[in-house]
Amino acid sequence: MITWNNLDTLASFKELEKVERVNLVEAMTGESGAERVKNYSVPMAEGLTYNYAAKQVDDKVLAALAKLADEAQLAEKFEALYNGEVINTGEKRLVLHHMTRGQLGEAVEADGVDKRAFYTEQQAKIADFANKVHAGEITNGAGEKFTTVVQIGIGGSDLGPRAMYLALENWAKKNDTFKMEAKFISNVDPDDAAAVLNSIDVAHSIFVLVSKSGTTLETLTNESFVKDALKNAGLDASKHMIAVTSETSPLAKSDDYLAAFFMDDYIGGRYSSTSAVGGAVLSLAFGPEVFAQFLDGAAAEDVLSKNKDVFKNPAMLDALIGVYERNVLGYPSTAVLPYSQALSRFPAHLQQLDMESNGKSVNRFGEPVDYSTGPVIFGEPGTNGQHSFYQLLHQGTDIVPLQFVGYKNSQMATDVVIQDSTSQQKLCANVAAQIVAFACGKSDENRNKNFEGGRPSSIIIGEQVNPGSLGALLAHFENKVMFQGFVWNVNSFDQEGVQLGKVLAKRVLAHETEGALKVFSDLLNI
């Protein structure tokens, strides 16, 4: 039987708090450091490895974390989730994003349909549509091929798909699977849509309107913006636009679109990259086969996340170490630092994934919790970040746990040897150096040049950013966030915290304001 308890009521958490803290500088210096790097490592899917040698843990902490995983029933809760329990208590919904990429457990029927069959049917429809666009069977009004796809959406209907597109764009060009350029319009700032529209040939562009709810102000505004542009160019908007939405949304039944593809209420926006939300734009940009490889990578990682043995379950282990850092060591933030230009927007996607999921002060029953939940997430690709905010990470007064990602090979394999090393080698040398610099530090008599060390990090190492490894990486983080939500006993699948601002903005636009809101409205000339 599953029980949902707050973290601070668990005996294993109290034990964990009592375990002696690890001196990371000592642990990572000399032979013991070398041994840790070899041993504190767990294979992920698609040739990735999660290495936690430079985390502030040792065998005793890890054993206590394994007990916590058992007592918090993390594996059982994941099993309940993929077998169709109402895990999203706030909205009384199932949580089925794993099913967009595989069947992890029992068949789940909801709304009278087999949900796995529903998701694969949508994928097949998207694949057929994309193939016809690529083959020139679906064309613009003049019978010409579309060359560009533009996604209109925001939040989960933008960040994940955009990050995935950017991650695979150069890989696809190198591997001859690149079909169409993709662009994204998200912000209600008119400069966003205007800039994208100025950069494309609208007559040869197909627009994907993505909104799960079909009611998001920014997205509907940008849809009208685009429709105006199409009209002004003498084009029929309904021949240039497809929709991705849930079947219950106001967009679902509209005739304004060339085609409509569906997700449903059981897939949270930030977990929707592997649904039709990511599927339409990625299949159009790279072909359905590439999207299928991406799904396979995610599915393989999901299978690993089922493992009850935390030392064979990288997402669960990563989650537990994060909880240790947050609730025992008291670190308030986490930086995600991919040493890969392809992953330039991956940290932005993880910000939504993590902070919108676990930024909660009440548990899944709506009762306040007395402990910290989700950390602040931020990040940038290395080495760029090194020349910007790493100063604070190395010598600031707060310790910020770090999540590195690095690959042995570049995507385009265009490289030069300068001073006896390639650029790729320089990139990888930097991430190795940073891990040790953060962990071990360096003492100096000049306090200004002193590095205390003891700053924990982990690294995910892979061969290359490609569709399979990207799917695995995405699923790892989705599952990590889910496991952390289980430990904190919060509902990671709703986002009531975004509502108040929307309500007040509507009031401003309707000129129904008073007090501070009125004065700010006047200052901003609304």
Ligand X SMILES: O=P(O)(O)OC[C@H]1O[C@H](O)[C@H](O)[C@@H](O)[C@@H]1O
Give the footprint of ligand X on this chain (CB under 6 A).
Answer: 154-157, 211-213, 216, 219, 269-270, 356, 495, 498
HEC profile of 7-56? HHHCHHHHHHHHCCCCCHHHHHCHHHHHHHHHHCEEECCCCCEEECCCCC
Least gap, CB of 158 to ligand X (angstroms): 8
Q: Of 408, 449, 502, 506, which is the active-site residue? A: 502
Choose between 156 and 287: whose C-beta lies nearer to ligand X: 156
Least gap, CB of 356 to ligand X (angstroms): 6
Q: How many helices (H) and strands (E) does the chain have?
A: 19, 15
Least gap, CB of 153 to ligand X (angstroms): 6
Separation in Å, CA 404 to CA 43, 85, 437, 445: 16, 34, 13, 30
Choose between 154 and 343: whose C-beta lies nearer to ligand X: 154
Looking up tokens 């690529």 gives 134
Separation in Å, CA 259 to CA 148, 184, 206, 241, 252: 17, 19, 11, 8, 10
Beta-ladder partners of 109: 114
Beta-ladder partners of 181: 148
Least gap, CB of 245 to ligand X (angstroms): 8
User: Which amino acid is present at 173?
Assistant: K
Pairing of strands 109-110, 49-51: unpaired
Is 387 part of the annotated catalytic residue set?
Answer: yes
Choose between 155 and 322: whose C-beta lies nearer to ligand X: 155
Least gap, CB of 178 to ligand X (angstroms): 27
Indicate the burial class of 57 (C-beta count within 10 angstroms; 0-12, 13-18, 19 or more): buried
- Whether the bond into 383 is cis, omega within 30 of 0: yes
Choose between 212 and 326: whose C-beta lies nearer to ligand X: 212
Listing DSSP states for 241-280 in one string gives EEEEEETTSTTTT-SSSSEEEEE-TTS-GGG-TTSHHHHH
Q: Give backbone dihedrals phi and psi of 340, rounded to 5 degrees, phi first.
A: -165, 120
What is the chain's percent helix, strand, coil content, to nearest 5? 50, 15, 35
Choose between 37 and 355: whose C-beta lies nearer to ligand X: 355
Looking up tokens 């700053």 gives 455
Choose between 491 and 495: whose C-beta lies nearer to ligand X: 495
Alpha carbon distance 58, 16 (integer Å)? 12
Sequence-separated (6 or more) residues with CB below 8 Å from residue 86? 92, 93, 94
Choose between 83 and 215: whose C-beta lies nearer to ligand X: 215
Beta-ladder partners of 73: none
Choose between 356 and 380: whose C-beta lies nearer to ligand X: 356
Q: Of 356, 360, 476, 480, which is the active-site residue? A: 356
Which of 236, 232, 243, 227 is closest to 153 using CA atoms? 243
Separation in Å, CA 106 to CA 115, 310, 364: 11, 23, 24
Separation in Å, CA 96 to CA 88, 114, 293: 10, 12, 20
Choose between 500 and 510: whose C-beta lies nearer to ligand X: 500
Least gap, CB of 278 to ligand X (angstroms): 12
**Which residue number has the CB closest to ligand X?**
269
Q: Of 387, 408, 449, 506, which is the active-site residue? A: 387
Least gap, CB of 362 to ligand X (angstroms): 17
Least gap, CB of 250 to ligand X (angstroms): 11
Least gap, CB of 498 to ligand X (angstroms): 4
Beta-ladder partners of 460: 50, 405
Separation in Å, CA 307 to CA 69, 79, 128, 311, 482: 11, 10, 35, 9, 15
Could you give the residue numbers annotated as active site?
Answer: 356, 387, 502
